[in-house]
Amino acid sequence: MSGTSSQSSRPGLPGFVSLASDGGVAARAAASRPASPLASPPALDGMFGPYGGQYVPEHIKPVLDELAATFERYHADPDFLAELDYYLTRYSGRQTPLFLCANLTARLGGAKIYLKREDLNHLGAHKVNNTIGQILLAKRMGKKKVIAETGAGQHGVATAATAALMGMRCTIHMGAEDMERQKLNVFRMRMMGADVVPAMSGQRTLKEAVDEALAAWLGDAENTFYLLGSAVGPHPYPRMVRHFQSVIGREARAQMLEAEGRLPDCAVACVGGGSNAIGLFADFIGDAGVRLIGVEPAGRGLTYGDHAATLCMGSPGVMHGFHSYMLKDETGEPAAVYSISAGLDYPGVGPEHSHLKDMGRAEYASVTDVEALDAFFVLSRTEGIIPALESSHALAHAMKLAPAMGRDAIILVNLSGRGDKDVAQVEEMVSAGLVTPPTL
Ligand SMILES: Cc1ncc(COP(=O)(O)O)c(C=O)c1O
């Protein structure tokens, strides 16, 4: 495996300089990075070990090849990077802070818990890092129309916003069930001019939204840019989404060195398709001393149909145009999945995570709905930060790890999004007596 992606995204390159206006912290962080084969950027050829690839109809390959060529041409181009940097900084408000949860840490009585505050991005989640990057590529390709799928609605909202910003037409496919769970996000997308189309087939959640968005795109691939929301799909999407999300780990690494003078013991993130997790992990993969932990939804428990813990419970297969771990039913088709969290209930996962799991470089754990809800309430009460239900999975796992670690240990959690979108759903559950907030 070879390539240029993460080399070219190092601080110090044109366009990223102002993201690291930090008195040289990022430059020192880059200099302290050990030379490791694990640090080499992956998937110039679309493969992460045996995973990834392009399992698509023949007539789509040229469209993907054109996208790959556009990405390779621009991703390290100084003008492209300057424009990307402009929107990340001025539109989304980067860099996002690193926050020490002093109250939560004291309460748990073990490792220090730091949050990478991706919830403070414009629109409330990490998704915008990727939509800005991809829409700038769409612009260079002369596309006037974007199409996307969404689960929790956060990627849909980020796509609708960036399409509005760039004056492009936008269609979002979303499972009818998720539209119900995330009504506010549907309204936000429509306010910003997007056409939101319900996916009515199957379980009417994220998998069906991807199926229907892909079908719509295949019908008009010449004119439409498919703005994929996670590090999944056929090449070049996993490589491209990783690249645009790697700003998370690059900033977090530098900020951690500045705050603590050392790297964290663990970097923890929730995993749906895997974009916020790979964005966090990307800059730590070469640091063997940093445990990389992805957290999947165990839902109601790890029995068929009750969870979406793809890496913990699945096996390799092909879905949505790429080879990776997936959850299958007895006929080998994508399994029925479930999570309280609309952004995590997907039966597949990004190919790089499959490779990191097989290599033993990253670990994957799972957290139930109940544990995630507990973390949702605990962070709100202890720190005054309401986390997204997706991010609450990562936090819940960190809360399990922290008490068993020494007080000088450090856990870095990616707070991928804010929980405002989930408050109505949780309030209904509390009102119906299905959930009781913990008394702290
Ligand atoms: C806030 C938030 N975090 C995490 C995710 C999961 O996506 P990914 O695994 O690609 O980061 C979503 C998906 O919608 C989300 O909205």
**pLDDT tens-place string over residues 364-423:** 999 999 999 999 999 999 999 999 999 999 999 999 999 999 999 999 999 999 999 999
| pLDDT score of 100 | 98
Q: If you average pLDDT over residues 12-18, what whole number do you get? A: 26
Helix axes of 389-401 and 369-383: crossing angle, nearest 10 degrees: 90
Which atom of ligand 1 is closest in space to residue 274's alpha carbon? 9
When pLDDT is cut at 50, 70 and 90, the band that residue 352 belongs to is very high
When pLDDT is cut at 50, 70 and 90, the band that residue 32 belongs to is low
Task: Identify the active-site residue in 75, 101, 155, 270.
Answer: 101
Question: Could you tell me which residues are beta bridge partners of residue 114?
Answer: 100, 412
Catalytic residue status for 170: no
Please state the separation of Cα 80 from the chain's center in Å: 22
Q: If you average pLDDT over residues 264-268, what whole number do you get? A: 98
Q: What percent of the chain has pLDDT over 70?
A: 91
Select the more confidently predicted residue: 288 or 3.
288
Task: Identify the active-site residue in 59, 75, 122, 126.
Answer: 126
Q: How far apart are CA 173 and CA 218, in angstroms?
A: 14
| pLDDT score of 87 | 98
User: How many CA atoms does the CB half-sphere of 356 hold within 13 Å?
Assistant: 29
In short, whether 417's Cβ falls inside 6 Å of ligand 1 is: yes
Domains along the chain with CATH numbers? 5-92+127-242 (3.40.50.1100), 98-124+247-431 (3.40.50.1100)
Q: How far apart are CA 336 and CA 347, in angstroms?
A: 8
The average confidence (pLDDT) of the chain is 90
Whether the pLDDT of residue 25 is over 50: the answer is no
Whether the pLDDT of residue 303 is over 60: the answer is yes
User: What is the DSSP secondary structure assignment for residue 94, as one 8-state letter?
Assistant: P
| pLDDT score of 3 | 31
Lowest mean pLDDT across 34-48, 127-141, 160-174: 34-48
Whether the pLDDT of residue 12 is over 60: the answer is no
Q: What percent of the chain has pLDDT over 90?
A: 83
In short, whether 154's Cβ falls inside 6 Å of ligand 1 is: yes
Output the DSSP codes for 394-423.
Answer: HHHHHHHHGGGS-TT-EEEEEE-BBTHHHH
In short, whether 230's Cβ falls inside 6 Å of ligand 1 is: yes
| pLDDT score of 182 | 87
| pLDDT score of 221 | 85
Sign of the torsion formed by the C-alpha atoms of 96, 403, 308 and 427: negative
Q: How far apart are CA 15 and CA 78, in angstroms?
A: 6
Lowest mean pLDDT across 79-83, 124-128, 181-185: 181-185
Q: If you average pLDDT over residues 21-36, what whole number do you get? A: 45
| pLDDT score of 332 | 93
Burial label, 81 (beta-carbon count in 10 A; 0-12, 13-18, 19+): buried
Lowest mean pLDDT across 30-34, 129-133, 421-425: 30-34
| pLDDT score of 1 | 29
Select the more confidently predicted residue: 332 or 13.
332
When pLDDT is cut at 50, 70 and 90, the band that residue 219 belongs to is confident
Lowest mean pLDDT across 6-15, 278-287, 315-324, 379-388: 6-15
Residues 239/5, Cβ–Cβ less than 8 Å: yes
Q: How far apart are CA 338 and CA 184, in angstroms?
A: 21
52 three-class SS? strand
Please state the separation of Cα 214 from the chain's center in Å: 19
Lowest mean pLDDT across 50-64, 230-244, 368-382: 50-64
Which residue blocks in 228-364 are alpha helix, DSSP H?
A: 237-245, 247-260, 275-281, 310-313, 351-359
How many other β-carbons are positioned within 10 Å of the β-carbon of residue 332?
Answer: 11
**44 dihedral zone (left: phi>0; alpha: psi -120 to 50; beta):** alpha
Whether the pLDDT of residue 156 is over 70: the answer is yes
Helix axes of 389-401 and 420-431: crossing angle, nearest 10 degrees: 80
Catalytic residue status for 266: no
Which atom of ligand 1 is closest in space to residue 119's alpha carbon? 1
23: CA distance to ligand 1 center in Å?
Answer: 32
| pLDDT score of 16 | 25
Helix or strand holding residue 86 (H, E): helix 78-86
Whether the pLDDT of residue 304 is over 60: the answer is yes
Residues 183/199, Cβ–Cβ less than 8 Å: no
116: CA distance to ligand 1 center in Å?
Answer: 14
| pLDDT score of 347 | 95
Lowest mean pLDDT across 27-41, 134-148, 152-166, 221-235: 27-41
Q: Which of 127, 189, 422 is the pocket-test mutation for ligand 1 (most atoms within 8 Å of CB)?
A: 127
Whether the pLDDT of residue 11 is over 50: the answer is no
Residues 416/270, Cβ–Cβ less than 8 Å: yes
Residue keyed to tokens 């890092």: 129
| pLDDT score of 34 | 45
When pLDDT is cut at 50, 70 and 90, the band that residue 40 belongs to is very low
Q: Which of 120, 123, 126, 129 is the pocket-test mutation for ligand 1 (most atoms within 8 Å of CB)?
A: 126
Q: Which of 121, 150, 242, 344 is the pocket-test mutation for ligand 1 (most atoms within 8 Å of CB)?
A: 344
**Closest residue (by CA) to atom 14 of ligand 1?**
343
Burial label, 376 (beta-carbon count in 10 A; 0-12, 13-18, 19+): buried
